[in-house]
Every structure is written in C-alpha cells, then in structure tokens.
C-alpha cells in the first residue's frame, strides 16, 4: 500500500470490518421481517438511505479533489513568487499518502454502501415476486 504506516492500514481494515458488519446487520434485519408492508417499506428506506449516502460520498470525493487542486495552485504560486522555492520530499510524500489513503477509504465506503443497496434491492424484489405469485 505505497508506504502507508501501520496505523493507516489498521484503520482501513477496521473500516472494511465495519462495512461487513453493517451489511450482515442489514441482512439479518431484512431476513426477520414478517409483515407484508414492512417487508416492502424497510428495504425501500434502506435503498433511500444508500442513495443519500452515495451522494455524500460523491461530495466528499469532490472536496478531496478540490483540496488537492488548491494545494497544487498554492505550490505553483509559491514557485512563481520565489524561484528558489522547492517543495520538500517529505511534504510531497505526505500529500501522496493522503491521496492514496482517501482513495482507499472512499472505495471501501462505496463498496459497503453498494452492498447494502443490493441486499435491500434483493429483499424488495424477493418480497414483490413472492407477493405477485
């Protein structure tokens, strides 16, 4: 993982574990619904939640890109104003680590939300299919 420290790896593993536990919890709750109306309403609410969550993730990704653009502009302005200016290697590595860590985190988040959406969609489809037959 490109020079990520141990703590960052532990954080990513924890994030994966929490997403798996959330998907299992959603699966458990949906599998124990008994009423016809709640078997339709709860998966729909879960799907609405995941759609809103996905929009928040997209906004977060946009903010990360915006921050990186501002950093790049600041570096270019510093280079223009001072010909001897040079970004330190440690500073460049820090930005690269932040980019890779945020990319990993957003991918994990997107996969977790997508898994919950698919579980809700499957239960909704299954409920509607069984009620139609």
Closest CA to 42 of 32, 57, 51: 32
Tell whether 2 is covered by a domain: no
Helix (H, G, I), strand (E, B) or coil at 34: coil
Which residue range(s) make up the domain with 80?
A: 44-133
Tell whether 48 is covered by a domain: yes
34-46 mean pLDDT: 90
Local confidence band at 8 (pLDDT 50, 70, 90 cut-offs):
confident
Using CA atoms, how far apart are residues 8 and 73, in angstroms rounded to an integer?
Answer: 27
Tell whether 6 is covered by a domain: no
More confident residue, 54 or 83: 54
Q: Which of 31-35, 51-55, 76-80, 124-128 has the highest mean pLDDT?
A: 51-55
> How many distinct structural domains can be found in the chain?
1
Tell whether 93 is covered by a domain: yes
Using CA atoms, how far apart are residues 115 and 66, in angstroms rounded to an integer?
Answer: 28
pLDDT tens per residue across span 14-36: 999 999 999 999 999 999 988 88
Q: Report residue 116 as tokens.
A: 């919950």
Write the CB contacts of 30 (distance below 8 Å, at least 6 apart in sequence).
42, 43, 46, 119, 120, 123
Q: With b meaning 16 or more CB within 10 Å and e meaning fewer, what string describes 2-12?
A: eeeeeebeeeb
37-46 mean pLDDT: 93
Tell whether 108 is covered by a domain: yes
Tell whether 29 is covered by a domain: no
The CA-to-CA distance between both ends of the chain, in Å, stands at 50
């Amino acid at each position: 993982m490109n020079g990520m420290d141990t703590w960052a790896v532990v954080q990513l593993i924890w994030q994966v574990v929490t997403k798996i536990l959330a998907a299992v919890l959603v699966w458990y709750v949906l599998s124990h619904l008994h009423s016809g109306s709640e078997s339709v309403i709860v998966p729909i609410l879960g799907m609405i939640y995941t759609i809103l969550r996905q929009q928040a993730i997209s906004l977060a990704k946009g903010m990360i890109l915006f921050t990186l653009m501002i950093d790049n502009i600041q570096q270019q302005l510093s280079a223009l104003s001072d010909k001897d200016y040079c970004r330190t290697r440690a500073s460049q590595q820090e930005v690269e680590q932040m980019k890779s860590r945020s990319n990993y985190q957003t991918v994990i988040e997107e996969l977790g939300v997508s898994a919950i959406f698919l579980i809700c969609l499957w239960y909704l489809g299954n409920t509607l299919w069984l009620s139609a037959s």
